[in-house]
Amino acid sequence: EPEVTQTPSHQVTQMGQEVILRCVPISNHLYFYWYRQILGQKVEFLVSFYNNEISEKSEIFDDQFSVERPDGSNFTLKIRSTKLEDSAMYFCASSGGPALSSGNTIYFGEGSWLTVV
Amino acid sequence: DAKTTQPTSMDCAEGRAANLPCNHSTISGNEYVYWYRQIHSQGPQYIIHGLKNNETNEMASLIITEDRKSSTLILPHATLRDTAVYYCIVRVAYSGNTPLVFGKGTRLSVIA
């Protein structure tokens, strides 16, 4: 069964460093998302991406964050200068769109755990 | 903010049916009800979704009331591996990439 894959599974970084989290969405999907979950808290929406541009973003997704689809398969989240409060699990997700049998159902990866020290 | 209300936690005996309720009294006519679960900080896992008819798949059944203001997710024979946080989410149907908005969900504990 197709799945969303994320790398790395866990990354430790020093405060102020840049981090790139990588995702390979399900291959025929058109819409891509990043969510995060701080330990013990809710899953929070960060950004959605379609047709090579951001469709929607939350208040969390400030200028420190950026997303990119550098090629036909990868989708990345970059945090420019990490802060302690960026420590969280980051989930990538994708959905196919109404033309697919799965419709707009969103499927999630297993997450990348980011620890900022 | 999430547009649904769910109990904070529930227990279920292994092998019995788990019935998880959800209130969504402000649901719009073009919104689906989606259910996801999250097992111990893994990625949210899609379970089922529906608009107004009851739905069943290999994982669960979804019962939606006629007025669509509430629904129940049924796991017919709960196992220990079904212990997870279950999220009920309403989302506009076929709207492209409208994101899911997660609430706190229901923590289901399946007990041996």
CA distance, residue A117 to nearest chain B CA (Å):
21
Shortest Cα distance from B57 to chain A (angstroms)? Answer: 13
Q: Work out how many CB contacts closer than 8 A connect A with B.
A: 62
pLDDT at A28: 85
Between residues 20 and 39 of chain B, which touch chain A (CB distance below 8 Å)?
Answer: 34, 38
Residue-level pLDDT at A103: 67
- Report which DSSP code applies to A15: T
Q: Is A91 on the interface with B (CB under 8 A)?
A: yes
Give how far B82 is from chain A: nearest CA, Å: 17
At residue A101 the predicted structure's pLDDT band, cuts being 50, 70 and 90, is low
* Pairwise CB contact (< 8 Å): A104 & B46: no
Residue A21 has pLDDT above 80, yes or no: yes
| Structure confidence by residue, pLDDT tens digits, A28-77 | 898 999 999 999 999 999 999 998 999 999 999 999 999 999 887 899 99
Contact residues, A window 20-79, toward B, CB-based 8 Å cutoff: 31, 33, 35, 37, 42-45, 48-50, 55-56
Q: Which residue, chain included where needed, has tokens 């951001």?
A: A54
Checking if the pLDDT of B95 tops 70, the result is no
Cβ contact B94–A104 (<8 Å): yes
φ, ψ of residue A85 in degrees (nearest 5): -75, -5
- Point out the residue among A33, A97, A110 whose CB comes nearest to the CB of B99: A33
CB spacing of B42 vs A33 below 8 angstroms: no
Sort out which chain B residues have CB atoms less than 8 A from A43's CB and list them: 38, 44, 87, 102
Tell me which residues of chain B, numbers 63 to 102, contact chain A at a CB-CB cutoff of 8 Å: 87, 91, 93-102
Q: Is A93 helix (H, G, I), strand (E, B) or coil?
A: strand
Give dist(CA A81, CA B59) in Å, integer: 42
B85 and B21 in contact (C-beta within 8 Å)?
no
Q: Is B112 exposed, middle or buried (0-12, 13-18, 19+ CB in 10 A)?
A: exposed
Q: Which amino acid is at A21?
A: L
The pLDDT-based confidence of B98 (bands split at 50, 70, 90) is confident
- What pLDDT does residue B62 have? 98
Beta strands (DSSP E) in B6-82 are 9-13, 18-23, 31-38, 45-50, 55-56, 61-64, 70-75
Q: What is the pLDDT of residue A104?
A: 81
> Facing residues of A12 across strands?
A115
Cα of A48 to nearest chain B Cα, Å: 7
* pLDDT tens digits, B20-47: 999 999 999 889 999 999 998 899 999 9
| Banded model confidence at residue A102, pLDDT cuts 50, 70, 90 | low
Q: Which residues pair with A88 in a beta bridge?
A: A114
pLDDT per residue as tens digits for the range A1-19: 779 999 999 999 999 999 9
- B84/B64 Cα distance (integer angstroms): 22
